[in-house]
Amino acid sequence: MFDEAKRMGLVLPGLAPAIPAPARQVAGPSQTPEEIAHSVEEFLRTKFRYTLDIERVSRLDPLQEFLFVRRAGHCEYFAAAMAVMLRTLGVPSRVVNGFQRGEWNPYGQYYIVRYYDAHSWVEAFMPGVGWVTFDPTPRATV
């Protein structure tokens, strides 16, 4: 079952030919899956902008529009872009959806988790370690 998860972590949809090139460029001389994942994570975190205001501005598919035109989006765009970029480089990856943070209620001793705590991030398979978490989404600026 674990090998099946790794195999599925490399499956790609039909991609526009332009998508693998920036992944190779960002990875540069990185050799290990961990180095590659950190390079892609850092690229997305620092060269793109977080926004919830998404408007289609081209006829490109959403991933191409995110990577080449808008260069801005919410966590689902960042996670999908990172997972696809890693897969084109042979690093098994998957998008994970869940919740982060929440607000601690000191009176009831529990966390309050709201819809805006929802988040998407990436797990990439590292040989000898297993699935490791990466979060390419930059923090929102207020």
- Catalytic residue numbers, as ranges: 75, 119, 135
CA distances from 48 to 7, 32, 44, 69, 85 (A): 29, 24, 6, 11, 15
The DSSP code for 115 is G
Give the integer Cα–Cα distance in Å for 112 and 58.
39
d(CA 32, CA 119): 27
Give one DSSP letter per residue of 66-104, joined into a string. IIIII-EE-HHHHHHHHHHHHHHTT--EEEEEEE---EE
Angle at 41 between CA 36 and CA 44, to 5 degrees: 125
